[in-house]
Structures are given as structure tokens and as C-alpha cells.
Structure 1
Amino acid sequence: METIEDTEFRGDDWYGDELTERAYKRCTFSQVDMTEASTRGVVFEDCVFHNVRFNASRHTDSAFLRCSFKSCNFFDADFDGCKMTGSQFGQSVMRPLRVEGGDWSFASLHGRDLTGAVFRNVRMREVDLTAANLSGATLTNVDLSGAALGEVNLTGADLRGSDLTSLDPLTVRLRDAVIDGDQAVVVAQALGLKVQ
């Protein structure tokens, strides 16, 4: 696998490019256009992305480890089996976004607008979703154990099959959210109710 280290990419046009089997370490990407680009088996480690357009991009079995995304646009982006562990998404446009499988543990999505986003079968342990807007979102079969969920908006969200043990029903918005029977017991217990 080709490895590129400590390199700055500024204003590059990667529109529609197909990136495969390569690694970027401690690289900086500024104002790079990755619209409709695709990655497969690509690793970005400790990289910084500033004002990068990921619109309609597709990522399969790739990894963005401990990366920082600042003012990036993920409109209609798709992540399949990707690792985003420890990455931070500051002031980035995150919707609509589709995520299938993979590991987003320890990522920070603090305050992000994720309205209508789709997360299925994703590991999101200790993810920071504080004050995020997930209204109308799909989070099914998601491991949210240890997640920071204070003040998160889950209005109308589909949460079936997900781990809600970190959820405090008194600090989030849950109106019209969809949960299953097992989750109802967890929520009731979090409210101090006795389930018999």
C-alpha cells in the first residue's frame, strides 16, 4: 500500500476520482473537491480536512482515524463499513448522510445537524452526540453504549435495536421516536419506573 505522509493538498480537484489501497498520514487537505469521489481500502490517519467537499462521495472499507473535519460538506455522502474512530466534525454540513456498518466510536458529532441521517449496524461507542439534531434520523442496531447524548434531539427517530443504556430520557427530545419492547424497558428504568 502506498503511504503519503506530512503532505499538504490545497485546492486540488479530485472530483469523481477513485482512490484505492493507499494511506495518508498527518496530511492536510484544504479546499479540496472530492465531490462524487470514491475510496476503497484507503486510510487517512491524523489528517486535517478544511473546507473539503465530500458531496455525493462514496467510501467503502476505508478509515478516517483521529481526523479533524472543519467546515466540510458531506451532502449525500455514503460510508459503508468505514472506521471513523476518534474523528471530529466541527462546523461541517452532515446531511443527508448514510452510514452502513463500520466503527464511529469516540467520534465527536457535537451539535451537528444530522436531520434524517441514516446509521445502520454501526458501532458508536462513547460517541459525542451532545446537542446534535437527529430528528427523523434512522439509528437502527447501533451500539451507543457510553455515548454522550445530553440535549440530543431524537424527535421522530427510528431507534429500534440500538443500545440506549446511556440515554437519559429527561435530557433529550424523544417525541414520536420509534423503539422496541426491550428498549421501552430500558427507558422506563431510566425514568425510575419499576417494570414488572
Structure 2
Amino acid sequence: MPKQPAAPSSVTEAVSPDHDLENEASFRRVWFSDFDLSGQEADSVEFEQCRFSRASLARAVVNDASWTDCLAENCDWANLRASKAGLSRVRLTTVRLTGVQWIDCGLRDVEFRDCRIDLGTFRFSSFRDVAFTDCNLTRADFTNADLRGAVFSGCDLSGAQFAQAECDGARFVRCELAGIGSVTSLRGATLTSYDLAALSVTFAAALGISIEE
């Protein structure tokens, strides 16, 4: 999992406008504490060994961005748009990601814990050693995503969409899976008996089976 972030005393604390977003900006060992980047737009931004504490990227647009060896805690990143972005060795804890759009992105060695990612979009993205733990992923969209390296544990995936997703090797552990879309795309995934029971109604509907009380 991600490396332990540098202590605050060994990083540069972000100040505006020096650490506002701009095209091809590179931030290394910067601590974004109570820092507002909401609504800003930039391409090809790089974050390396950065820490985000109560920082906002809400409604920001950062295409071709990258996060490497980063930690985000108690942040608001709702409706962030980041197509063709990369996340490597990143940990996100209690981050609000409602409506986030990570499209055609690569996620490797990433942990989401206690995050709100409802209505999030991960279309065409690939997941390698990615863990979602105790996250709200209701109505998330994983259409055409490569989830072979993803683990979902204790997550609410009600109404999530998996159309054309690659799930061979993905794991679901005690998740809420009611009403998920394209349930047959879960072929090859590993589920606990708890998850299979929760999926029974959805499987039946996909097969055109009627269930009588």
C-alpha cells in the first residue's frame, strides 16, 4: 500500500497563489492543508509525495494529471474531473468524491477507505491492487473498466453499473449489491456467500425469473 507520507515539518505548506493549479505544474512534497483548489482547471499536473488535509478539489478539472505516493484525508473532491489520470501508491481516507469522473485512468496500489464515491464514474479505467473499504459507491459507473485487480470490502454498491467491465479476479466481501446493472459482467469475480445471497434477486431478474413470496 502507499508509503507513509512525509511529516508536515519536512514538506512545503501550500500557499495561494504559488500552489494554485496551472498547466504542467509539478508539486513535490507539498502539504495542502485547508487549501482550496475548487473549480480550478489545468492539464498535466503532477503531485508527488503530497499530502492533502481538508483540501478541496471540488469541481476541479485536471486532465492527464498524476498522483504518486500521496495521502488525502478529510477532503472534498466532489465532482472532480480527471480523465487519463494516473494514481500510484495513493491512500484516500474519508474523502468526499461524489460525482467524481476518473475516465480512462490507471489506478495502481490505491486504497479508498470510508470514502463517499456515490455517482462516481470510472469508465474505461484500470485497477491494479486497488482496495475500496467501507465506501459508499451507490450508482457508481464502472462501464468498460478493468477491475481484475480490485477488492471491494464492506461497500455499498447499490445500483452500480458494470456493463462490459472485466471482473475476472475482482473480489467482493460483504457488500451491498442490490440493483446493480449488467450483473452478468461479474463473471470470474469472487463473492462471499453473503454477497451471493444479496445478489439473488438481481440474478433472477437478469435471467427473467419471477420470484413469488
Name the TM-score class by shorter chain.
0.7 to 0.9
* Equivalence map 1:77-116=2 (5 Å): 77-116=90-129
Aligned to 2:36: 23
50, 56, 62: which is aligned to 2:75?
62
- Looking at structure 2, the residues matched to 127 and 28 of structure 1 have their Cα atoms a distance apart, in angstroms, of 24
Higher helix share: 2
Q: Which runs of 5+ in 1 are unaligned?
A: none
Equivalent position SS for 1:185: helix
- Specify the code of the residue in structure 2 equivalent to 1:85: T
- Percent identity at matched positions? 11
| Conservation of the 8 A alpha-carbon contact between 2:105 and 2:124 | no
Alignment of 1:1-196 (within 5 A): 8-167=21-180, 171-175=184-188, 177-180=190-193, 182-192=194-204
Distance in 2, matches of 1:50 and 1:168, equals 28
Give the Cα–Cα distance (whole angstroms) in 1 for the partners of residues 108 and 142 of structure 2.
15
Change (3 A) 1:156 1:8: closer
CA distance in 2, matches of 1:115, 1:25: 28
- State TM-score, norm by structure 1: 0.86
* Structure 1 pair 111–31 and aligned structure 2 pair: CA distance change class (3 A): closer
Q: Closer, same or farther in 2 for the Cα pair 1:176/1:108, shift >3 Å? A: closer
Q: Name the SS for the 1:70 alignment partner.
A: coil
Secondary structure class of the residue paired with 2:167: coil
* Greater Cα shift, 154-163 or 105-114: 154-163
The one-character-per-residue Cα deviations of 1:17-41 (angstroms, maximum 9, x if unpaired) are 1110121232113222211111000
For structure 2, list consecutive stretches of 5 or more residues without a partner in the other structure: 1-14
Q: 1:186 to 1:96 in 2, by over 3 A?
A: same
What's the CA shift for 1:100?
0.8
Contact 1:129-1:147 within 8 A present in 2 as well: yes
Distance 1:51 1:177, change over 3 A: same
> Residue 184 of structure 2: SS of its match in structure 1?
coil
Letter in 2 for 1:102: C
Please give the alpha-carbon distance, in whole angstroms, between the structure 2 residues aligned to 1:105 and 1:80.
15
Distance 1:164 1:151 in 2: 17
The Cα RMSD (Å) is 2.4
Q: Distance in 1 between matches of 2:162 and 2:84?
A: 23
Deviation per residue, 1:31-88 (Å, 9 max, x gap): 2221111100001121110222201111111121111102221112211111111111
Equivalent pairs, count: 192
3-state secondary structure, aligned to 1:39: strand
- Normalised by the size of structure 2, how large is the TM-score? 0.80
